[in-house]
Amino acid sequence: MARQRKPKGRPVSGWMILDKPVDFGSTEAVSKIKWLFKAQKAGHAGTLDPLASGMLPIALGDATKTVPYVMDGRKIYEFTVTWGEERSTDDLEGEVTETSDRRPSREAIEALLSKYTGVIEQVPPQFSAIKIDGNRAYDLAREGETVEIPTREVEIHRLTLLGCPDENSAEFEVECGKGTYVRALARDFGRDLGCFGHISALRRPYVAPFAEEMLVPLSELTALEEIEDDQERFAALEEFLIDTSEALVNLPHVPVNDEQARRIKLGNPITLRGANAPVEEPEAYASAGGRLIAIGEIAQGQFRPRRVFG
């Protein structure tokens, strides 16, 4: 019988709420954080383009099991649209594909906002991670192919015009749901206003359920590389970690005792007692003494674990 290979790295778990700098890719950021912590596992919740800055939640260890709950959360973006040019990538990176001398008035921009609020149909950018016949759209676009990307529904909860610094640009804030492409908003604004447009600045200050105050600049983390003692350096890094359960604050919570925690970790259901005990919930999480034990469902008055944490 083959022996199981021991995972490389430290069994550290938690969320790092990184303030990603511009010109730093999301995959690159995850690799850097994983290397700093010498973590066994790492992943992120919601890609940020290299030209975008702001909140990139990075999960380490067991926290990777909670990534879907953050991916589904609301997000806020602050962005600048520059008028007069449409680009292949819908941001500064791409080649200019359309130009116009027209510039929209503030009144015309404001009149457009209601069209892009609520549940809307959106065509993702050609340079996006959408899969077309098993291939990423951005891979096909880099090979010079123009592909038909189907529209999909996204939800815009709030869209605000923050200001117009000059006739060539406008600044916005949007609060939106999963799968929204802000670059596509800029592209479609420009087309509707008859002047073309692209994203020239983009920042994400918020990904639910994490607060903006939790953001940690990458420079603060890399500065700790100067600490020579491994134990001291890892302890300093872990001061910045957010507990894994913070990703689950929007789920019902089931506090359990040590004996119940033991049963759950073995994959067994437990009966929930008390007048206020929930009877049916499609998803909930259980914790004991502040430690996350499992994510599961509540059915017929029982908590039934699906994902157990170490």
Residues recognised as catalytic: 49
Tokens 């990904």 found at: 207
Pairing of strands 270-271, 253-255: unpaired
Q: How far apart are CA 302 and CA 294, in angstroms?
A: 13
* Separation in Å, CA 239 to CA 34, 85, 140: 15, 45, 42
45 contacts: CB under 8 Å, gap ≥ 6? 57, 58, 59, 67, 70, 71, 73, 207, 247
Neighbour tally for 9: CB within 10 Å: 16
DSSP 91: B
Neighbour tally for 126: CB within 10 Å: 21
Q: Is 148 helix (H, G, I), strand (E, B) or coil?
A: coil
Q: Which helix (H) or strand (E) holds 231?
A: helix 230-238
107 contacts: CB under 8 Å, gap ≥ 6? none
Q: Which helix (H) or strand (E) holds 306?
A: strand 302-308
